[in-house]
Homo-oligomer: A and B are copies of this chain.
Amino acid sequence: MAEKNRMVHAFKQTNDRISGHGERNIQVLKDALAEVDGEQASDMYGKGKIIEDFQEKMATYLGKEDAVFFPSGTMAQQIALRIWCDQKDVKKVAYHPLCHLEIHEEDGLKELHHIEPILLADKTRVITLEDVIALDEEIACLLLELPQREIGGQLPEYETLVAISEYCREKGIKLHLDGARLLEILPYYGKTAEEVCALFDSVYVSFYKGIGGVAGAILAGGRDFISGSKVWKRRHGGDLISLYPYILSADHYFDERVGKMGQYYGEAKELAALFNQCDAVSTRPEQPVSNMFHVHIDMPQDKLEELLSEIYETTGVGLTSYTRPTSETSCYFEISVGDSYHEVPKDKLEYTFNLLNERLSTKSGS
């Protein structure tokens, strides 16, 4: 714990960070509201100009008939799966073992909706067409998360997506996109959001990952699907009298950052290469396919945190505020390239990675 506290403290003192868009503080909302006319009326339980305009903007961007703003992706995705299950009268869906619904939602899908998930692929790789074909139970919906966050943000090849989409349509299986980080993968695929979303029946996108808003999500799909999702949104307690704090910030940062995803992707590749040059370090994926990747280091957690503390204190550059053990002798952390990386002076970055490599060579015992 001493090393952890020291590292967290040292990280907080750094002026430069390689990950993210900067602090998640109240200023993020204040900046988003600065130019907004205070006389504008609040949305009211899902109605009104602010929410309707943004929903229409996102439906158009994603190439879907309609869209609805949700306070959270957790709520949006459970509801999407529930609608597809009810429509087919089959209470089974399929998704990856490290799907957000499986590991981060306290089993809401099972406890609230009584939907049984079938886990496809394994914890080291993304879902393939073969996994879907091999399914021997009837499912209402297949959920694909692009990129697969918990394994460093891996992606299937685009041809695989197309093949899975065609197979599902043929078999009457609805295809849902967990696109929490959809915008972040478009540069790698070289596709528009609309092109990717056309492969899916329903799509969720988040506004506080690459976009860097305060919170909130959009669920998009056909008109009937979205109309039904609004009923469930009210049942879940998500049809708030006012969602504008999230909508206005989502809209503000969407406009600010939607055009920067290519830059973040390029910088993620550059940064991953810097990590991979270091002794005892490997990134996953080796070459990122979005703005994110995981950094795996062959070193016990306490040793690594001591080492990182020294580096932060010496260089003023923060690499991560936490590490997670993968074994007794190894650990990892996640990088999501945003606005901050671009602002780290190149010489400080070089100095930091030289020092990291030097210390790892000395200490990792390799």
The contact sample of 16 A-B pairs, CB cut-off 8 A, is A23-B39, A26-B38, A27-B39, A42-B214, A74-B237, A105-B235, A106-B235, A108-B234, A208-B241, A208-B242, A214-B242, A214-B245, A215-B242, A215-B243, A236-B237, A245-B246
The yes or no answer to A95 lying at the interface (CB within 8 A) is no
> Could you give, for residues 222-253 of chain A, a 1 whenever the CB lies within 8 Å of some chain B CB and a 0 otherwise?
00000000011011111111111110100000
CB distance from A200 to the nearest CB of B (A): 20
Within 8 A of B (CB), among A122-167: none
Q: Which residues of B contact A72 (CB under 8 A)?
A: 237-240
Would A234 and B106 be within 8 Å (CB), given that A72-B240, A208-B241, A239-B74 are in contact?
A: yes
> Nearest CB to that of A31 among chain B residues?
B38
CB distance from A334 to the nearest CB of B (A): 15
Q: Which residues of B contact A74 (CB under 8 A)?
A: 234, 236-237, 239
> Could you give, for residues 11-37 of chain A, a 1 whenever the CB lies within 8 Å of some chain B CB and a 0 otherwise?
000000000000111111110010011
Q: Which residues of B contact A106 (CB under 8 A)?
A: 231-232, 234-235
Q: Which residues of B contact A366 (CB under 8 A)?
A: none
Inter-chain contact A24/B44, CB cutoff 8 Å: yes
Q: Which residues of B contact A73 (CB under 8 A)?
A: 237
> Nearest CB to that of A237 among chain B residues?
B75
Q: Which residues of B contact A78 (CB under 8 A)?
A: 237
Chain A residues within 8 Å of chain B by Cβ, number? 51
Inter-chain contact B24/A39, CB cutoff 8 Å: no
> Could you give, for residues 100-117 of chain A, a 1 whenever the CB lies within 8 Å of some chain B CB and a 0 otherwise?
000001111001110000
CA A4 – CA B24 in complex, angstroms?
A: 45
The yes or no answer to A76 lying at the interface (CB within 8 A) is yes
> Nearest CB to that of A230 among chain B residues?
B106
Q: Which residues of B contact A108 (CB under 8 A)?
A: 234-237
A37, A74, A232, most chain B CB atoms within 10 A: A74
Q: Which residues of B contact A27 (CB under 8 A)?
A: 38-39
> Could you give, for residues 65-85 of chain A, a 1 whenever the CB lies within 8 Å of some chain B CB and a 0 otherwise?
000001111111010000000
**Of B23, B39, B107, B237, which is within 8 A of A71 by CB?**
B237
CA A39 – CA B31 in complex, angstroms?
A: 12
What 3 A-B pairs are tightest by C-beta distance, nearest first?
A75-B237, A27-B38, A108-B235
